[in-house]
Structure 1
Amino acid sequence: MTEWILQLPTWEMIRFFGLLSYFMLFAGVAIGISYSFPGWAPKTKGKLYRMHEAASVSGMFLGVFHAMLLVIDTYMPFSWHEILLPFAASHAPVINGLGTIAAYGMVIIILTTDLRNKLNRKVWRLIHFASYPTFVLALVHGISGGTDTKVGWIFLSYVLTFAVVTILSIARAFLGGKRSLAHSAGRR
C-alpha cells in the first residue's frame, strides 16, 4: 500500500486540488455576494443559497485535502506541524502560512454558518465577512506559492476571479444601502 501511495503523482494532485479548492472558494464567495443582491425571487434565492453552500463546503474540503497531500509528497514533503501551524513551514513560510490561515478561515466560516441560529447575528455576520480576507489570502497563496502560476490561463484565472469578486462587492455596496433601509423599515 505504501509503495502505491508513493507512486502517485502527488505534486500534480496537490496543485490540482489547490486550484480546485480556490475555484470553489471563488464560486462560493461570488455566489454568496450575488445571493445578497435585492430582488431575487424566493425560489431563485433558495437555489443560489444551496449553490453558495455547496461551493463553499466543497472548497473547504478540497483545501483540506490539498494540505493533507503535502504530507505524502516525496519531492517536498511537509510535516503536520508545518501544515497546521501558520508560518512554520521550512519552505516559503509566509506564503504557506497564508494558505494555512486561509484554510482555518474557511473552516471557521463553514462551522459558524452551521451554528448561525445559535450565534448572535452581528457576531455571525462579522465572522462571515471574513470570507473576503480568506479569499484574498487563498489568492495570494495560490499566486505566490503555485508552481504553475506562470501558465497563462492560470494567472489569468486568478486575475479574473479577483476582478469578479471586486466588481460584485462594489455593486453590492451600492445596492446595500437601499436594501438595508428597506429591510430595516420592514422590521420595525
Structure 2
Amino acid sequence: MWDFGRGSGVVALVLLTVSTVLGVATRSGRPAPWLPRFAVTEVHRNVSLLATVFLALHVGLLLFDPHAMLRLFDLVVPFVGDYRPFWQGLGTVALDLLLALVATSLLRHRIGRRSWRAIHWAAYGLWPVALFHALGTGTDSFTPWFLTLAVVCAVSVCGALCWRLSARFAQPRLEARV
C-alpha cells in the first residue's frame, strides 16, 4: 500500500499540474493547437476529476497503511500530524482546498458564476501547496527523477501563469468585444 500511496500522490501532482495549465488555457478562451475551445474546457474538467480520484486514492491508501500512521484527524486538521507535521499539514490544506473546489464546482449552478469564480481562484493556491507538500513529506522528494518531475511541473505552471499575467493573454478577448 505504501508504494501505491506514494505513486498515486505523484500522479495526483502531475494531474493537478495539467489541470492548472488547462484551467489557464480555458480562461484564455483560445483553442489549443490540437483541440477546439470547448474541448479544452472538457479536458480540464476531466483531468481535474481524475486528479481528485488520484488524490482520494493517495489519502485513502496512506490512511490504511500501517507504515504511514496517518489518522483521520490528520486529514481534517492541518499541522498536527506525527510525521513532518508542517509538510503533512500542507497536504491537509491542499486536500481542503481541493474539496472546496470540487464542492463549489458541483454547486456552480446554485451559487452563481461570480461566487464560483471567486472560490475557484483557490486553485492558484492549491497547486504550490501540493507541490511543497510533495517536496517536504515525500520519501522520493530528493531523488533525481522526482526533482526532474517537480521542475517540469513548476516550469509548466509558471509558464502558464506568466502567460496569464501577460498582455497577450487578453488580446483575443478584447478583439472579440470591439
Partner of 1:20: 11
Q: Following TM superposition, by how much is the alpha carbon of 1:35 offset from its aligned partner in structure 2, in angstroms? A: 1.9
Structure-2 separation of matches of 1:115 and 1:82: 27
Kept after mapping to 2: 8 A contact 1:60/1:103: no
Stretches of structure 2 that go unaligned for 5 or more consecutive residues are none
Partner of 1:55: 47
> Aligned residue pairs: how many?
175
* Greater C-alpha radius of gyration: 1
Q: Following TM superposition, by how much is the alpha carbon of 1:179 offset from its aligned partner in structure 2, in angstroms? A: 4.8
Q: How does 1:59-78 map to 2 (within 5 A)?
A: 59-78=51-70
**In structure 2, the residue corresponding to 1:36 is in which secondary structure?**
helix
Q: Which amino acid aligns with 2:57?
A: F
Out of 79, 86, 93, which is 2:71 matched to? 79
Stretches of structure 1 that go unaligned for 5 or more consecutive residues are 1-9
2:40 paired with 1:32: no
**In structure 1, the residue corresponding to 2:28 is in which secondary structure?**
coil
Cα deviation digits, residues 144-163 of structure 1 (max 9, x gap): 11110122121111111111
Partner of 1:165: 157
Q: Following TM superposition, by how much is the alpha carbon of 1:75 offset from its aligned partner in structure 2, in angstroms? A: 1.9
Partner of 1:178: 171
Q: Which amino acid aligns with 1:143?
A: L
2:6 paired with 1:11: no
Out of 73, 91, 106, which is 1:99 matched to? 91
TM-score between the two structures when normalised by the length of structure 1: 0.84
Q: Following TM superposition, by how much is the alpha carbon of 1:91 offset from its aligned partner in structure 2, in angstroms? A: 1.2
Percent identity for Structure 1 against Structure 2: 23
Structure-1 separation of matches of 2:74 and 2:27: 37
TM-score between the two structures when normalised by the length of structure 2: 0.89
Supply the RMSD in Å over aligned alpha carbons: 1.9
